[in-house]
A = this chain, B = another copy of it.
Amino acid sequence: MRDFSADHRWLSLNTATVRKQGSLLEIIEACARHGIRAIDPWRDQVAAVGIDRAARAIRDAGLDLTGYCRGGMFVADSALRTEVRDDNRRAVDEAKALGTSCIVLVAGGLPQFSRPGSAPSKNIEMAWSQVHDGIAEMLEYARAANMPLAIEPLHPAYAADRACVNTTKQALDLCDAIDPARSGMLGVALDVYHIWWDPDVMAQIPRAGKDRILAFHVCDWLVPTRDMLNDRGMMGDGVIDIKRVRAAVEAQGYAGYSEIEIFSNDWWGRSMDEVLRTCIERHKTVV
Interface: A257 (CB within 8 A): no
A residues 80-118 with Cβ under 8 Å of B? 110, 113
- B199 lies within 8 A of A167 (CB): yes
CA distance A199 to B240 in the complex (A): 24
18 A-B Cβ contacts within 8 A?
A122-B239, A122-B240, A123-B241, A124-B196, A156-B156, A156-B157, A156-B198, A159-B196, A159-B197, A160-B197, A160-B221, A160-B223, A160-B238, A161-B223, A164-B197, A167-B199, A169-B200, A224-B228
Residues of chain B lying within 8 A (CB to CB) of residue A199: 128, 166-167, 170
Separation of A161 and B221 alpha carbons in the complex (Å): 11
Report the minimal beta-carbon distance from A235 to chain B, rounded to whole angstroms: 12
In this complex, how many residues of chain A approach chain B with their Cβ under 8 Å: the count is: 32
> What does DSSP make chain A's interface, helix, strand, loop or mixed?
loop
CB distance from A127 to the nearest CB of B (A): 10
Q: Check A225 for interface membership: any CB of B closer than 8 A.
A: yes
In the assembled complex, the CB of A149 is this many whole angstroms from the nearest CB of chain B, namely 19
Residue ID in chain B nearest A173 by CB atoms: B199
In the bound complex, what is the Cα–Cα distance between A224 and B227 (angstroms)? 10
By beta carbon, the residue of chain B nearest A199 is B170
Question: In whole angstroms, what is the CA distance A59 to B65 when docked?
Answer: 67
The listed residue (B156, B161, B239) touching A224 by CB distance below 8 A is B161
- Cβ of A37 under 8 Å from chain B: no
CA distance A170 to B161 in the complex (A): 25
Cross-chain contact B156 with A110 (CB below 8 angstroms): no
Contacts of A113 in B (CB 8 A): 223
